Amino acid sequence: MALYNEPSPLETRVLSKRFGMENSASLDTYLATDGFKAFQKARQMTPEQIVDEVKASALRGRGGAGFPTGLKWSFVPRTSPKAKYIIVNADESEPGTCKDRLLMEYDPHQMIEGILIASLAVDAHAGYVYIRGEYRYLIEMMDRSIAEAYSKGYLGKNIAGTGWDFDLYTHSGAGAYECGEETALLDSIEGKRGIPRMKPPFPAVAGAWAHPTLLNNVETYSAIPWIIQNGAAAFAALGTPKNGGTRMVCISGHVNKPGVYELPLGFPMMKAINEVAGGIPGGRKLKAVVPGGSSCPLLRADECDIPMDYDNLARIGSMLGSGGMVVLDETTDMVKFALRIMRFYAHESCGWCIPCREGTTWLRKILQRFDDGGGKQSDIPLLGELSKNMLGRTFCALGDAAAMPTQSIVEKFREDFEKRLASQTVAV
């Protein structure tokens, strides 16, 4: 994949600006390229000023939902008798998404600085980086980076002589997709089975160990130092109204140059496919795009001439999600694609609520039957009806994540299902 060594000239390198530098992950490299200057600047600001700056930047959470980051920070109570925590969601288990691992691998101290600035904003003095179990090598790398920061005075007591104290730890997940959901992640950190909690209360009020907790993902924290150092207005100007900054976009599937590219929000989707990712191999035509990870409703080829930001994708009934764009050409069998997605979600459902546990299994069985050549005409509307009845009826968004792409595939690519039925009739 095209990582730091194959950048596109169309990229806007903000979070990935150190990718490709020699020893980019080292603290010495980070300090030599303006590292921790933003923390020093933030130390001279009030918590309210930090939160207001993040609000003005129009930074939205990069984990999937796109909730305004500064607004989320403002929910953490200013005064509390309980200790507060900073949590980093580095679970990154959404199929098609692989950008947080690069930020941790090639520029971990940028994230650490973002965490420290967040701790100033909410008055927290301890934090955890929750890393998915499959990222074992990254847990070891982050442990080394954290140890390096401690050894040089950028974590622990009296950080960089500022009088601020903060301790940071890594915590390994066990590979459960469900733990990408913030409350299931918190249960996992506490040593419990990773299942979603009822909300409210929300983590900002009662999160880890029932203490006020701020939880964002790797890319979100990594954007904070640039915002504080360069100003909210400069970051907001990189994107579109209410969609500030850049996104790390993971482009995979049927493209000539799959990779992780940093693009400004509002970048044209077709330009990203054809110019950044090198177009579709063999001159084949575009059929569909998964715009932001497997849980997002799919787009037909005629819907893809659109700016990539949260609001424009929401307007046409999809999501920017976690930035995992999967490009599908005209050879793609959408029945097989839907089955592949549903196998994943049926396997990863935690089983805590019936609509998700039973719904994902039922959808998988119907799609498997269709793929095996035993599909029925009544199965097509049944897939849509099952998906519809899962939406909004589960404790967390996993049920929605399974239902939304299935519903979009059935509605937009019904002809693929009809072709399967026709081929079965001919075979008989």
Cβ atoms 393, 417 nearer than 8 A: no
Cβ atoms 103, 11 nearer than 8 A: no
Q: Supply the pLDDT for residue 425.
A: 63
Q: Which of 84, 91, 74, 163 has the alpha carbon at shortest distance from 127?
A: 84
E runs forming strands in 100-197? 126-131, 167-172
Strand partners, 156: 166
**C-beta neighbour count of 170 within 10 angstroms:** 19
Q: Supply the pLDDT for residue 5.
A: 44
Strand partners, 326: 252, 290
What is the β-pairing status of strands 246-253 and 307-308?
A: unpaired
Question: pLDDT tens string for the chain (428 positions)?
Answer: 344 447 789 999 999 999 999 999 999 999 999 999 999 999 999 999 999 999 999 999 998 888 999 999 999 998 888 999 999 999 999 998 999 999 999 999 999 999 999 999 999 999 999 999 999 999 999 999 999 999 999 999 999 999 999 999 999 999 899 999 999 999 999 999 999 999 899 999 999 999 999 999 999 999 999 999 999 999 999 999 999 999 999 999 999 999 999 999 999 999 999 999 999 999 999 999 999 999 999 999 999 999 999 999 999 999 999 999 999 999 999 999 999 999 999 999 999 899 999 999 999 999 999 999 999 999 999 999 999 999 989 989 899 999 999 999 999 999 999 999 998 765 44
Q: How far is CA 156 from the centre of its chain?
A: 29
Q: What is the CA radius of gyration of the chain?
A: 22
Cβ atoms 270, 309 nearer than 8 A: no
- The DSSP annotation for 275-341 comes to IIS---GGGPPEEEEE-SSTTSPPEEGGG--SEESHHHHHHTT---TTSEEEEEETT--HHHHHHHH
What is the β-pairing status of strands 213-217 and 324-329?
A: unpaired
Q: Report in angstroms the alpha-carbon separations of 377 from 154, 389, 425.
A: 63, 20, 11
Can you tell me the distance from the alpha carbon of 27 to that of 35, in angstroms, rounded to the nearest whole number?
A: 8
Q: Report in angstroms the alpha-carbon separations of 295 from 41, 80, 91, 325.
A: 39, 36, 15, 11
Q: Supply the pLDDT for residue 21.
A: 94
Can you tell me the distance from the alpha carbon of 321 to that of 318, in angstroms, rounded to the nearest whole number?
A: 9
Helix, strand, or coil (residue 272): helix
Q: Supply the pLDDT for residue 63.
A: 85
Q: Supply the pLDDT for residue 43.
A: 97
